[in-house]
Amino acid sequence: MKRVNSFQRFMNSRAAGNGRYQPTCYEHAANCYTHALLIVPAFVGMALLHRLSDDRWERITAWVYGMGLCGLFLISTAFHIISWKKSHMRNVEHCFHMCDRVVIYFFIAASYTPWLNLRELGPLAAHMRWFVWLMAAAGTIYVFKYHEKYKLVELAFYLTMGFFPALVVTSMVERSPNSGEGQLHERPKMLQI
């Protein structure tokens, strides 16, 4: 039991009801450093993806994914720094907390974008391309209307966005490794640019 008590300084107890969890200074520091450490690699990765793209559609997809990743680390770092060090800026902290939640929705959508855009996944993929972005928009509206009120609804949004786009595997064309079907097909034309 003594070992459990020695770790309590690193993490507070769970938030009550629909209240917001209050991280310890150690948690704030860990969040700040780990998120800030990944900002530059995210920008470098986005630039490399863009540079290695073969066509305009790949460049757009690289930009969408890269901006989602960079935005996630930038907003999250700013939020954690403000909530850790600037306790007198509660309105700004609240705004950044909402932005931190919103950027998670957009990061999930941006994470699915390369897979849904650059692979031939069947007819369901065309619907999922828009579904993830509509869910990101719905999650944004939810955050601005009901921020921190209904935790289970927020969790349902995240899980739906994270799970449902993966269902496109059910509509994939079966590809046998021994037949010519295993070859990559031309990407579907979704945008005329």
CA-nearest of 100, 41, 94, 113 to 70 is: 41
Distance set, CA 174 to CA 155, 184, 187 (Å): 33, 12, 16
pLDDT reported for residue 130: 86
pTM score of the predicted model = 0.74
Name the token pair of 125.
């993929």
| Region 116-130 average pLDDT | 78
CA-nearest of 53, 73, 72, 75 to 63 is: 53
- How many other CB atoms sit within 10 Å of the CB of residue 52? 10
- Residue-wise pLDDT tens digits, 51-79: 999 999 899 999 999 999 999 999 999 88
pLDDT reported for residue 137: 93
| Region 152-174 average pLDDT | 82
